[in-house]
Amino acid sequence: MGETIRLTSPLDGFVFNAYRAAPVDARRGGLVLVQEIFGVTAHIRDLADGFAADGYETIAPAFYDRRAPGFEAGYDADGVARGRALSEETPWDEVAADLQAAIDALAPPVFVVGYCWGGTAAWLAACRCAGLAASTVFYGRRIPELIAETPKVPIILHFGRTDPTIPPAMVEAIAAAHPDLPIHLYDAGHGFNSDRRADYNPDAARLARLRTLRLFALNGAGRGEL
Which residues are the active-site residues?
Answer: 116, 163, 190
| Distance (Å, whole) CA 155 – CA 85 | 28
CB 83 within 8 A of CB 96: no
C-alpha torsion sign, points 100, 106, 108, 112: negative
Distances (CA, A) of 16 to 74, 97, 104: 22, 12, 14
Q: Is the peptide bond before 109 cis (omega within 30 degrees of 0)?
A: yes
Q: HSE on the CB side for 56, CA within 13 Å?
A: 26
- The secondary structure element, H or E, covering residue 170 is helix 168-177
15-21 and 134-138 strand pairing: unpaired
